[in-house]
Structure 1
Amino acid sequence: MNTAKTITIGSNSKNPITVNRLGYGTMRLTGEGIYGEPANRPEALQILKQAVASDVNFLDTADYYGEDVTNRLISEALYPYPDDLVICTKVGCTRKPDKSWIPYNTPENLRTSIENNLRTLKIEQVTLVHFRAMHGHMNFEESMEAMFKMQEEGKILHVGVSNVSVENVETALKMGNIATVENMYGHAQRTSMKNNFGDTYGGGEVLALCEQNKIPLIPYFSLVHAIGKKDNRIAEIAQKYNVSETEVNIAWLLHKSPWILPIPGTSSLAHFSENIKAKNLSLTKEDMEFLE
């Protein structure tokens, strides 16, 4: 099976952007509990530089990673940025000193977050921003209105959504152009999930909707559920090609749909080098059927 090497963000907009189809998620570059400075700051900076050197031109970040740690690392390692580099950030929540996650999604909150991202990343416009839904603690339509307002002002080029249900995506599409969706998805987590408030998000249903509307799905935690959850099918394919199980998990995403943009993250340069090899792993139709 041949997999597309690139993917287009905002394909239905006036400003489509094509990126290479293996990005990097920066969340793991923070300290323990996704909070504070990295344990090995030089290695964190080197990973970002190596990502760009490896033709990764899509980075996923958020100002609540750290807090502000990943944004500052990105700017320190890569500013001034390559012309083709797309930095995607998220807004909608923040952190407390006890490392808990709390909503930060009123129109005023979202504007503050965008201004903070612009400042820490040293940019005048954020290329892509996901509104990260925190179900049970938000007015989804009100928050999306604020996002589209800032897009009109030129602070945001493309608007996306994260941690959303099919219904959320459909609502957002009626309000404006949705460039991307970032949801939990991976070989070990393909079904929808319900949170404590009864809201359903994630899963193959959202992927199907994305495919119908030519919207990239950016899966987060694609490896978290796979690591430590032994899958003999993944192990068998890894043994067949003499590669790691991590590579097979990432390659499965690349082969699953041309509208998936994986962003595997790591704080280890060695693991990053392993992950990047996945884009060169070709799985057959029979492999994919076996893995299904």
Structure 2
Amino acid sequence: MNNTITIGKDTANPLTVPRLGYGTMRLTGEGFYGEPPNRPEALAILKRAIEKGVRFIDTADYYGDDVTNRLIAEAIYPYPDDLVICTKVGATRKPDKSWVVYNTPENLRTSIENNLRTLKIDRITQVHFRVMPGMTNFEEGMEAMFKIQSEGKILHVGVSNVTRDELQTAMKMGNVVSVENMYGHGQRTTKQFAHGGTNMGGEEVLDICEQHNIVMVPFWSLHTADRQDTRLAKVAQKYGVTEAQVNIAWLLHKSPIMLPIPGTSSLAHFEENLAAADINLSKDDMTFLE
């Protein structure tokens, strides 16, 4: 199993990072909104991530609202030269904590400028264009993303929460280096939520990503897992680890293009997640888990 992965492998600016990143969404308050309940621990996790060699951090200006970007800057600015900060645009939050579409060309430009300001940088290494429920102007949004990239404010463009058709459309318009879709052992395909939201599954686009060297960044990999499935627990017992750790190890073994970003607000849990990269699942383990 490779320990590193290259983002933008077929571009003029490839970036190689360790295959386990960190997602910051859980550093926010209740409902992924507002300040963290334990701010010192949130800052400690970010600092520890850098100390332990994590070089891919996933964020968004609508996490918080704008909380995680400010935490990142406070904890680790000035940034290591090899750090990839990957943000998302296409949504915003209202004071009632609701999520709304924010993806007109003007909206996207505002979000990019906001990310640049709060992260204290001149160019964002990687930006995912997030598809929200009810969005009808995907192509217009992608066109705006590639235009902003041409201005030098974005190095690499990716997409998030996309269908096969949307991914293929984006690939025809410009160079797409990554896809951030929901993917975990217990939830590999699209999931509809009772509140009307939809998270597109990674399994449905994995073959396209593998064929075109597009990195898969799986989110919520354990959050929606099927608790009736006892296979993770059995493998976890075999190795003396947690189910969450087995899920991360499974993702790393599933495909060499996977770059998991397990998130947590607990420093102890963060250390556990990092240790999952050292779990070597056998072929029999993978067959059992499939």
Match of 1:59 in 2: 57
Mapped to 1, the partners of 2:63 and 2:197 lie a distance apart of 26
1:143 and 2:152 are equivalent in the alignment = no
Deviations 1:232-257 (A, max 9, x none): 11111111111111110100000000
Instruction: Please say if residues 106 and 138 of structure 1, whose CA atoms lie closer than 8 Å, have aligned partners that are also in contact.
Output: no
Mapped to 2, the partners of 1:243 and 1:189 lie a distance apart of 21
Match of 2:117 in 1: 119
Match of 1:204 in 2: 203
Per the TM alignment, residue 231 of structure 1 is displaced from its structure 2 partner at its CA by: 2.6
Mind listing any 5+ residue stretches in structure 1 that lack a counterpart? Answer: none
Per the TM alignment, residue 261 of structure 1 is displaced from its structure 2 partner at its CA by: 0.4
Match of 2:230 in 1: 232
Amino acid of the structure 2 residue aligned with 1:102 = V
Deviations 1:247-273 (A, max 9, x none): 101000000000010000000001101
Question: Relative to 1, partners in 2 of residues 1:189 and 1:36: Cα closer, same or farther, differing over 3 Å?
Answer: same
Instruction: Please say if residues 181 and 199 of structure 2, whose CA atoms lie closer than 8 Å, have aligned partners that are also in contact.
Output: no
Deviations 1:32-79 (A, max 9, x none): 000000000000000001111111100000000001100000000000
Secondary structure of the structure 2 residue equivalent to 1:92: strand
* TM-score, reference length from structure 2: 0.96
Instruction: Please say if residues 251 and 278 of structure 1, whose CA atoms lie closer than 8 Å, have aligned partners that are also in contact.
Output: yes
Instruction: Please say if residues 165 and 206 of structure 1, whose CA atoms lie closer than 8 Å, have aligned partners that are also in contact.
Output: yes
28-37 vs 229-238, which deviates more?
229-238
Alignment identity in percent? 69
Instruction: Please say if residues 182 and 199 of structure 2, whose CA atoms lie closer than 8 Å, have aligned partners that are also in contact.
Output: no
Deviations 1:186-222 (A, max 9, x none): 1011123468999893231211110011101000100
1:192 and 2:190 are equivalent in the alignment = yes
Supply the RMSD in Å over aligned alpha carbons.
1.6
Question: Relative to 1, partners in 2 of residues 1:248 and 1:81: Cα closer, same or farther, differing over 3 Å?
Answer: same
Instruction: Please say if residues 26 and 60 of structure 1, whose CA atoms lie closer than 8 Å, have aligned partners that are also in contact.
Output: yes
Instruction: Please say if residues 191 and 200 of structure 2, whose CA atoms lie closer than 8 Å, have aligned partners that are also in contact.
Output: yes
Question: Which 4+ stretches in 1 moved above 6 angstroms?
Answer: 195-200
Instruction: Please say if residues 176 and 214 of structure 2, whose CA atoms lie closer than 8 Å, have aligned partners that are also in contact.
Output: yes
Instruction: Please say if residues 71 and 121 of structure 1, whose CA atoms lie closer than 8 Å, have aligned partners that are also in contact.
Output: yes
How do residues 41-190 of structure 1 correspond to structure 2 at under 5 angstroms?
41-190=39-188
Secondary structure of the structure 2 residue equivalent to 1:114: helix
Mind listing any 5+ residue stretches in structure 2 that lack a counterpart? Answer: none
Deviations 1:126-184 (A, max 9, x none): 00000001142230000000000000000000000000001000000000000100000
Instruction: Please say if residues 191 and 201 of structure 2, whose CA atoms lie closer than 8 Å, have aligned partners that are also in contact.
Output: yes
Instruction: Please say if residues 210 and 217 of structure 1, whose CA atoms lie closer than 8 Å, have aligned partners that are also in contact.
Output: yes
Secondary structure of the structure 2 residue equivalent to 1:184: coil
Per the TM alignment, residue 229 of structure 1 is displaced from its structure 2 partner at its CA by: 1.7
Match of 2:264 in 1: 266
Instruction: Please say if residues 189 and 200 of structure 2, whose CA atoms lie closer than 8 Å, have aligned partners that are also in contact.
Output: no
Instruction: Please say if residues 2 and 256 of structure 2, whose CA atoms lie closer than 8 Å, have aligned partners that are also in contact.
Output: yes
Question: Relative to 1, partners in 2 of residues 1:270 and 1:132: Cα closer, same or farther, differing over 3 Å?
Answer: same
Instruction: Please say if residues 252 and 258 of structure 2, whose CA atoms lie closer than 8 Å, have aligned partners that are also in contact.
Output: yes
Amino acid of the structure 1 residue aligned with 2:28 = T
Amino acid of the structure 2 residue aligned with 1:29 = L
Instruction: Please say if residues 161 and 199 of structure 2, whose CA atoms lie closer than 8 Å, have aligned partners that are also in contact.
Output: no
Instruction: Please say if residues 166 and 201 of structure 1, whose CA atoms lie closer than 8 Å, have aligned partners that are also in contact.
Output: no
Among 258, 275, 281, the alignment partner of 1:277 is 275
